[in-house]
Structure 1
Amino acid sequence: MTTRPLAVIILAAGQGTRMKSARHKVLHPVAGRPMLLHLLASVAELAPQRQVVVVGAGRDQVETAVAGMDVAIAVQDRQLGTGHAVAQAHDALAGFAGDVLILYGDVPLVRAATMRAMLDRLSRGDEPRAVVLGFRPDDAAAYGRIIADGQGVIGKMVEYKDASETERAVTLCNSGLMAVRSTDLFVLLDRIGNDNAAGEYYLPDIVMLPGAPSAVIEAEAWEVAGVNSRAELAGVEAMWQARRRAEAMRDGVTLIAPDTVHFCHDTVLGRDVVVEPNVVFGPGVSVADNVVIHAFSHLEGASVASGAEIGPYARLRPGAVIGPKAKVGNFVEVKKAQLGEGAKANHLSYIGDAVVGAGANIGAGTITCNYDGFLKYQTQIGEGAFIGSNSALVAPVSIGAGAIVGAGSVVTRDVEADALCLVRPEQRGLSGWAKRFREKMKARKASKG
């Protein structure tokens, strides 16, 4: 295992024109997190001393995204190839002595373990000049090929267009990711030329310079999948989701229809959780053991305690805290609200900016009126309280423990514990009124022909 200091250079200077977006390419999200931040999260596991992102257009967007993350920004004003892009990190790495990982901001799924394996190979006894990350795709297509011996020592790297038929038959391809010692990197970059059709300086050219040989290690193809278009972004998302679903089931979660469940990068699920079809987890969701999440529910910024039941067709918004064995039923929305142990909101309700005590029951059609057009206000519902159907609780308001609010009430003042609250006019019945009304209206309609 290598113990040398580590620096990371992430290339993110491409124009991203195929994305057709005002957003910088590396900031498009996979599983709710920008690609660049996925990569930096994996890099963080290796505790690098320095991190440099090389940008071109969209510098301000990238700087905003990495603010507070101890990441230096280097600028490639002219797009003169990957070798030229890496060279722009020279000043940011001034005085650094150690190993350098070169990654791509639009290749977000490479694992920390793979990065570590590249560094370990770089420090092996034969000390290769560079370590290239190779892969074997199902369709090698037009990828550059790596010709290597059984020990992974590279004999030749060749672009597809320049390869012979024999070389094109090789299935080991070049991902572009590389590990190099800092003492070699910029010296090697100074030696490569741009005598090619594009007039650019290509990073892989350092491998074939005269001198010490380089080595290759292999990664799975999904790890080095790159994103240059919306379709490729969707493909990377699909790969990430498939792996996350498999991981969830391996860890004790039941997914009834796995392909229909969408996870976020930080979703946490306990054991014996059951997730029914078409459930979406947004950022910031934590679900404890023995929870059932019924079909077509959407959760974001919420925590759900053990034994709770969510949905179907429920929405938990940021700040929702659902207690043990609580129930949030069909077409119920909860926002910035706590439901105590065993509390129930079973149907067609909105619970926002509220604290609902243990065992309380929220009837169908109940809403907490938490917003007056300018400010938000809180509703307090005590333990064991019963809120009748189609009630409106106009915040700020408090319903005492054990109180009952009659159906159809509009509550604007506090209700004391164990009291009955009725806010509706007395029912009246006018005999024969409906019959007389119908006869009158039929006659009026007939007179108008």
Structure 2
Amino acid sequence: MASDPRVSKPRLPKAYTDEQLIFLRSHISGFETRTRGHVRGDAKKFALDRANEFLVRFGMPEDLQGIDEAEPRFREQIYNWYKNTVGRARRKLEGRTRSKKPAEKGLDLTDQHHSPDPQISIIVSGSPAHNSLTWSPNLETPTTVSYAAQNDIAAQTASSSSQQRQQSQQHVPPPPPTGHIQFSFQTNVSVPSAATLALNASPNALRDAFFTRGIDVTTLSSLIQSYVLSHPSPTPLNPIIDALFAAVTSSLNAPTASRTASNHDTIITILRRFTEACGYFPATLVHAGVSGPVAGPRALQMAIRKSTVWYPVLAPASGTTMSDEMERIAADRQKRKDYIQWAQIHGAALELGLLSFRGDYAGTAESLSELMARDAVWEADEVEWVAGIFILQSLIRTGSLARKHEYEQLLSTYEGRWKEIKDEARQALVTEVLLSAQQDLARMDEGRVQ
């Protein structure tokens, strides 16, 4: 192995974590089952799908970040790991071991064995230890040749197998091989981009992709497009918006010690990733009659419009048990939290300009936001006051100096409502927003509201 140019001595490979190994090993049986099937390339496709799912869950390994063609190399390494792991298990069951003499003699030879895919012979040089799995970012992608010689190889293999059966019946050891047949493979299985998971993309995977730093926006866009293709509807981006909301929830619920940004900045970051991912949408992606990159903002706009209407979880008229009432209270509490969070997303989207785009009626987004900010303060439920103050702050940040006096009056009304809020957590939240909004109003004279 010392003469193998694909092995980099200065950089030791980074080992997988226990959690990553558990994930990969949990799919070994699925890979092994497909190696016994009759569909060419099915096992490799399964391994590549698991590699894509790995990227969604854990991101690109640090040792591979910044390296040319990191994603194709990573997928090939995962495939080779599954292939070698299954191969070792089979050799162990059959009582066969791999010879180490060529490596000890320093010869530039490779071990040949049949891949799990039918009728494909694969060259593998070296393999990890039995219980380990490592990165090797300097591995080159195997060269490929066509299947031109496949029939000849199959004939030689059949002849060799027949000869070995006859010799075993006569108790005569087989003669040494006369030559070493060596070629690589090229299947019809297309290698998808980093997260083309048409069958494996799930709402949870999409949620994680929105706030996982190791997944770039092109990969996120591929994930979204894959999910949309496998779940067609007139409004296919609705589940994507739900995943975005879930990503915001997960980020805001993270332990304070592990967070480096405010709630507002966290939401802004996630929405920007969503916007950038939408920039890669093709014209064939259509949501509610809007196609291409603007389909994403359109889906977000529709979700925000629905979120502006508040209605509590009503209690049944009669015949409820204590357990039913507890469930209703819990559901109502969660709905109030979601309503306030949607208001935070609404405000952030307004600041990013995601609520209006070419083709809208003039002032549509501003009218929706202003109506909510003006009306919410006069409603009876305090949860609407909390939601309204978030929208008002974003209106101040995006508004003009000519409307400063108008905003000051509305903010003063919200200050009066602040004293009536009974829930301590909501009152603390409104306190923070009121102080920030007052600072934004003060900056309007300087023309630098942020």
Alignment TM class, shorter chain as reference:
under 0.3
Query: Higher RCO, 1 or 2 (CA under 8 Å, sep at least 6)?
Result: 2
**Greater strand share, 1 or 2?**
1
